[in-house]
Chains A and B, each alone.
Chain A
Amino acid sequence: MPSENVHLSEHDLVLAADGELPGRRKAQVNAHLETCWQCRERMSSLQGTIAEFVRARNRELNAQIPSASGPRALLRASMAEAASSPSPAWPVFLRLRWPAAPFGRLVMTGAAFLGALLFIVVVFQSTVSAEGPKPRCAITPGEARPITLKEVCDYAGAEVISRDIPLDMQRKVFAEYGIKDPKANQFEVDYLITPDLGGTESIRNLWPQPYSAHWNARVKDKLEERLHELVCSGKLDLETAQHDIATDWIAAYRKYVGSN
């Protein structure tokens, strides 16, 4: 129980203001606030700041939001169009469920991990010699983290994707490729295996992709979306998708998307 003379930390005040304190601590903090004018004043100031911020933010952003009628009609039209195509529901045999039993989970996790390890070894031994829009295999063989089909597909589009690649990492990639003083409008450091398919933010999975190339990042985006779709519809297994995009993404594009 906190003494009345020991004031609440900023941490406790913020958690209390947000209703995020665990039960017992909540009672202690409330008891302190009842007796301590100083902490009550701090809490009041904090609440005032939150209210001011929300008002300022809403005023700023609400002014930019157009009427909903047009977007609502567009959404209805898009859904009607999508509904006219066959349901993308998975075949029954591919509806993998996360096992309830701990042993089942262990087996499934282990299988996914071994699969990813096997994939990394296979990719590491493959060769890609072309320059330009393709990475050099010795530097960028492609690397994937252990990931299950469920993680890839169950939350399609809802997975946590990597944020912008840190500048330090980008510099390392340029250095590995011997590119000195890269111009911002010439290259983009890109993932070889997209994070959507389990690709990591490791130097083994990043390479400088030239904007000027015919086979550029935008084209690769199409391939990534297509592979994700194929994997999640059960038409292609995840390891093959990872392997093919890492080995020769242009050949993979021709194979899975068509000619560019």
Chain B
Amino acid sequence: MAADTSASLGFSITDTGHASKPSRIEDEVVSLFEQLRAPVLRYLLSFGIPVPDAEEVLQDVFLKLFQHLRQGKSRANLQGWIFRVAHNEVLKCRQRTRRHSSRFTHLPEFFDVASDPGPGPEESLAATQRRLGLLAVVRALPEQDRCCLSLRAEGLRYREIAEVVGISIGSVAASLEKSLSRLTRSEQT
């Protein structure tokens, strides 16, 4: 899917081995930034880091992408590459934050209910409860399962998720099966 995405974005999937001109690469990176900013930010926020930290990580990721393309490295599956770097950078960011701040003396809350935008005018009380119930189930999942679920929600295939998280494709399938089973059960109760 990601290779298709690269193709649809007009990127060659062959490694030319030559560095392209910076101005053209800058345009390419900005184009990717505009298309993937929201999906990657959602993934970063699902780690429970504050929005400014997520934005900072995102900047680092796309600056790394710029350097990556500038060095003429592979353009294959750039979407997968971006999520993979984002995954690694957010883990590093969280480790740094834990070292130097008391903000994360406890595990970060995922989908903190305090940040819930509240029911819209069209949303019934039952629908709100169902939504919050689902988010509570997600919050209780182990981090690896949350990563797999979030990446799948952003449209990554099992192979890509496996590469981002650093586990086997079978483990991705088992993780999603377990998480979806829990979510389905919570819907039925």
A: residues with CB less than 8 A from B are: 10-11, 14-15, 18, 20, 45-46, 48-50, 52-66, 68, 71-72, 74-76, 78-80, 82-83, 87-90, 95, 154-161, 163-164, 184-185, 188, 211, 217-218, 221
Contact = CB atoms under 8 A, between A and B. Distances in A.
A52 B186 CA distance: 12
Interface in B82-106: 84-85, 88-89, 91-92, 95-96, 98-100, 102, 105
B45 interface: yes
| Interface of chain B: mostly helix, strand, loop or mixed | helix
Nearest to B51: A64
Of the four ranges (under 10, 10 to 19, 20 to 34, 35 or more), the interface on chain B belongs to: 35 or more
B153 A75 contact: no
Interface in B122-141: 130-131, 134-135, 138
Contact of B173 (A20, A52, A53, A76): A20
Nearest to B102: A185
Contacts of B168: none
| Interface of chain A: mostly helix, strand, loop or mixed | helix
B176 A89 contact: no
Contacts of A52: 130-131, 134, 183, 187
A185 B100 CA distance: 9
Given A14-B180, A79-B22, A156-B67, 9 more contacts: A14-B173, A52-B183, A60-B115, A68-B37, A71-B59, A79-B29, A157-B88, A158-B88, A188-B99
B45 A61 contact: yes
A181 B140 CA distance: 28
26 contacts: A11-B173, A18-B176, A20-B173, A45-B184, A45-B187, A48-B187, A49-B180, A49-B184, A52-B130, A52-B134, A53-B138, A53-B149, A56-B135, A57-B46, A65-B51, A71-B33, A71-B59, A75-B59, A79-B26, A79-B29, A88-B70, A88-B71, A154-B74, A159-B88, A161-B91, A217-B99
